[in-house]
Amino acid sequence: MYPIIAVDELVPRVRLYRIHAPRVAQKAAAGQFVILRVDEKGERIPLTIADWDAAEGSVSVVFMEVGTTTTKLARLGVGDSIADFVGPLGNPTEVENFGTVCLMAGGFATATIMPIARAMKAAGNYIITIVGARNKDLLFWQDRLAEVSDELIISTDDGSAGRKGVVTEPIKEKLERGDKIDRVIAIGPSIMMKFSALTTQPYGVKTIVSMNPIMIDGTGMCGCCRVSVAGQTRFACVDGPEFDAHAIDWDSFMSRQRTYIDEEKRSLELCRCPEGPG
């Protein structure tokens, strides 16, 4: 069992849990993830490692309460324990001195971008961080990102914080005027990552995305996280989770994500009302 040692509600329905998992904390690196089960009968879900402290033996994960398992997870508090917490899994982010690195986060993917930004900054890169959200109430960790960013750009759909517009607009403007950008890492909802790829592709800027949203098993055995990359089938959990955004078959990927929508809705209804709807 893995005890929860701290809980922080970052914004409505988005929580940070700090978990006591010393072995995971000793090996964790930016870009990796864990697979957890709330209890012995629970499903396995992947969560990206948002932070870790090897001395304390803790690993932090951030999740949004949206489905059955995250709803169950959100019911736990400090002192409660999680049945399984396996990791670190996946390949770490490729970190070196590329020059100018633009990091883009959509929604609560801010938690995923943070350790990558820190590692890229430590490697000597000039860091441009762009964070997008629907409104100001969904933004968090702006102060932490500012500490590891040379430029921090905030965009909201309604203009309630930062500039009004989608998260891809600032990078498009920079590329259009010829600003030098050596690498882009975009993490967030699938549609956001797809359009990030479409934005940078005409300029030939290497763009990396994380395909965590499609993972289940986390060990390459179930095959559910298949991703078509440059015409070849890859597995997000063992070959990734990060891939070249310009080589992904986005239409196929997003179609597969919708396969079990009805079943997921039914599962959530039963989770919220064990006796059944109504």
State the CATH number of the domain containing residue 17.
2.40.30.10
User: What percent of the chain lies above the pLDDT cut of 90?
Assistant: 60
40 and 113 belong to one structural domain: no
71 and 131 belong to one structural domain: no
154 and 226 belong to one structural domain: yes
Decide if 269 is inside a domain.
no
Confidence of residue 145 (pLDDT cuts 50, 70, 90): very high
Query: Among the three residues 65, 89, 113, which one is the final residue of a domain in this structure?
Result: 89
Domain count, the chain: 2
> Average pLDDT of 18-24?
96
Decide if 94 is inside a domain.
no
Instruction: Quote the domain boundaries for residue 197.
Output: 100-257
248 and 146 belong to one structural domain: yes
Decide if 134 is inside a domain.
yes
Decide if 23 is inside a domain.
yes
pLDDT, residue 243, reads 93
Q: What is the DSSP letter of 248?
A: B
* Token pair listed for 83: 């049945």
Mean pLDDT comparison of 34-38, 116-120, 231-235, highest-scoring range: 116-120
> Going by DSSP bridges, is the β-strand pair 45-53/58-64 parallel, antiparallel, or unpaired?
antiparallel
Query: Among the three residues 31, 62, 89, which one is the final residue of a domain in this structure?
Result: 89
Judged against a pLDDT cut of 60, whether residue 217 lies above it is answered with yes
139 and 18 belong to one structural domain: no
> Average pLDDT of 35-51?
88
63 and 107 belong to one structural domain: no
- CA dist 117 and 123 (Å) reads 10
66 and 119 belong to one structural domain: no
Decide if 115 is inside a domain.
yes
pLDDT, residue 224, reads 73
Reply yes or no: is the peptide bond before residue 22 cis, omega within 30 of 0.
no
CA torsion angle 193 198 202 204 (round to 10): 20
106 and 234 belong to one structural domain: yes
Decide if 44 is inside a domain.
yes
Decide if 129 is inside a domain.
yes
Question: Greater confidence, 260 or 48?
Answer: 48
Judged against a pLDDT cut of 60, whether residue 166 lies above it is answered with yes
pLDDT, residue 257, reads 59
Q: Which range has the worst mean pLDDT, 41-50, 83-92, 99-108?
A: 41-50
41 and 84 belong to one structural domain: yes
